[in-house]
Structure 1
Amino acid sequence: MPQLAVDGATLTYDDEGPRDGDLVPLVFVHGWTADRHRWDHPFAHFAERRRVIRLDLRGHGDSDGAGVPTIAALADDVLALLDHLGVERCVLVGHSMGGMIAQTIALAHPTRVERLVLVGSISRMTYSRARGLLMAASTLVPYRLFVAANIQRAFAPGHPREEIRRHIAASAATPREVVMTLYGAMRAFDVLDRVGEIRTPTLIVHGTHDVQLPVAQMLRMATAYPDAVVRLIDAGHELPLEKPREVTRAIDRFLAAA
């Protein structure tokens, strides 16, 4: 597994697919407590005909490093990897927190993003008073219970329990300090008033059963984008795991329309 040392962390990444041709690379960024294997299906699909890159964010998966207080700091890690790999321009695909990272890069470095794909993501974390109190209280329970509660509700009803348990265990293996620091970073993330500046063609893919980041919040974001296509999928928040083929198909069609 190739790795890159950057600002106190060692990032593990995959870089596959043909380098020739006019197609810019696809860069996949996973979400909170996940790892680069969230993207196994689209990564394998697109690697047959174009360069594809994915990484484990710091403190996740096979990467080490402490948590950072802002989404912008994670965006800097992704940019450092792209610089290291000589990627000047790409299609940026982000799930959940990865979508927040992708939006941050698109705003700060618009010339580096040819197309943007946001999967189960939003531009502003919004809570009702009741949910805000519930979320705050959840940080006081034992760490594994905190992770389990968040991962359990990320899947649509009826998803196989064995698979959910497997992903809870994988998420709980992420260091507590990383998880809780980035939890705060996501809660503070807010670029909703700026997404109108993003002129990059954008695909927004969202689960109809997403209770982590509800459809209503996604639609608030979508209406702020000047050039966005919305694709709803019958799934929860974990679309890349629940409906990987549908996610891959949506991205494929979006790129084919370029």
Structure 2
Amino acid sequence: MPQLEVDGALLTYDDEGPRDGDGVPLVFVHGWTADRHRWDHQLDHFSAGRRVVRLDLRGHGESGGAGSRTIEAAAADVVALLDHLKIERCALVGHSMGGMIAQTIALAHPERVERLALVGSISRMTYSRGRGLLMAASTLVPFKLFVAANIQRAFAPGHPREDIRRHIRASAATPREVVMTCYSAMRAFDVLDRLGEIRVPVLLVHGYHDIQLPVRQMLRMAKAYPDAEVRVIDAGHEIPLEKPAELTAALDRFLTARG
């Protein structure tokens, strides 16, 4: 289990697959209260033919440190790992908060990103007044209830309850400071007006039943990107858990398409 120290935090990561495989390395970034194992299906599939890297973000999973106070700070951790692994250019895949991190890297370091895939992610957090008040109020409830409410609504109707409970327990094990700090960082994130600067092929994969980050917000992104492909899946917000094989297939097609 390799680790890298970055600004006092030990970041745990996996680096698998052939160094001389097909295409540039594939780098996966997970979302809020998750860990690198969100990408187990994709790691198993893609590492047979190409180099695959995934990490636990600061304060998540098996990585130490407090949660990043900004999305830019989290992006800097990922870039530090790329530098450490001597990966000059990669295909970058991010889920939810991880997609925000991926977009930030693509904007700050365009030379490092060959393709960009965003799974259940957006470029600007937008709420109605009522939704904004509800989200602000939710931070005042007991921590475990706050986490449970957010994770429960991340899955599409009909998803097995025991699986949801298992992921609620895992998310609630993330330190409170990390959860709340990253939550604030996501709420402040906004790069929508800069998407025209990202000139690489982009894949937007979104769940039809996503009520955390609704499809209409993703479609607004799609119009802003110069070169974007859209795939809507019959799932909620947690596509890597709900429909891992469909996600892998969509990524496979995207990564092998000419761009």
Checking the alignment, whether the CA contact within 8 Å between 2:203 and 2:230 is kept in structure 1 is yes
> Counterpart in 2 of 1:175?
175
Deviations, residues 194-231 of structure 1 (Å, cap 9, x unaligned): 00110010000000000000001000111100000000
**Is there any run of 5+ residues in structure 2 with no aligned partner, and where?**
none
TM-score (norm 2): 0.99
Unaligned ranges ≥5, structure 1:
none
Shift, 1:125, TM fit: 0.2
Q: 1:148 corresponds to which residue?
A: 148
Runs of 4 or more consecutive aligned structure 1 residues displaced over 4 Å after TM superposition? none
Cα offset, 1:68, TM superposition: 2.1
2:134 is matched with which residue?
Answer: 134
- What secondary structure is seen at the aligned counterpart in 2 of 1:41? helix
The 3-state SS of whatever aligns with 1:194 is helix
Using the TM superposition, give the Cα deviation of residue 69 of structure 1 relative to its aligned residue in structure 2, in angstroms.
1.5
Where in structure 2 are the equivalents of 1:87-166 lying within 5 Å? 87-166=87-166
* Deviation, structure 1 residue 8: 2.0
Superimposed CA distance per residue, residues 105-127 of structure 1 (whole angstroms, 9 cap, x where no aligned partner): 00010010000000000000001
The residue number in structure 1 matching 2:59 is 59
* 1:76 pairs with 2:114: no
Amino acid at match of 1:59: G
Counterpart CA distance in 2 for 1:21 and 1:98 is: 25
Tell me how far apart the structure 2 counterparts of residues 82 and 54 of structure 1 sit (CA, whole Å).
10
Query: 2:232 corresponds to which residue?
Result: 232
Count of matched residue pairs: 258
How far off is 1:22 after superposition? 5.2
Which digits, 9 at most, give the CA deviation of each residue in 1:123-148, with x for residues without a partner? 00001000000000000011000000
Q: Which amino acid aligns with 1:196?
A: G
Q: What CA distance in whole angstroms lies between the structure 1 residues aligned with 2:106 and 2:234? A: 28
Aligned partners of 2:67, 2:47: CA distance in 1, in Å?
Answer: 30
Q: Which string of whole-angstrom CA distances, capped at 9 and with x for unpartnered residues, describes residues 37-86 of structure 1?
A: 00000111000000000000000000010122210000000000000000
Q: Distance in 1 between matches of 2:64 and 2:256?
A: 36
CA RMSD of aligned residues (A): 0.6
- Three-state SS of the structure 1 residue aligned to 2:192 is coil
For 2:231, give the aligned amino acid: R
Q: 1:205 maps to what in 2?
A: 205
Q: Which residue of 1 aligns with 2:195?
A: 195
Match of 1:250 in 2: 250
Supply the distance in 2 between the matched residues of 1:37 and 1:129 (Cα, whole angstroms).
35
Instruction: Return the TM-score normalized by structure 1.
Output: 0.99
Q: Secondary structure at the match of 2:193?
A: coil
> Which whole-Å CA distance do the structure 1 matches of 2:121 and 2:20 have between them?
32
Q: Percent identity?
A: 82
SS of corresponding position for 1:230: strand
Kindly state the Cα deviation for residue 100 of structure 1 after the two structures are TM-superposed.
0.2
Query: Whole-Å Cα distance in 2 between the matches of residues 126 and 152 of structure 1?
Result: 20
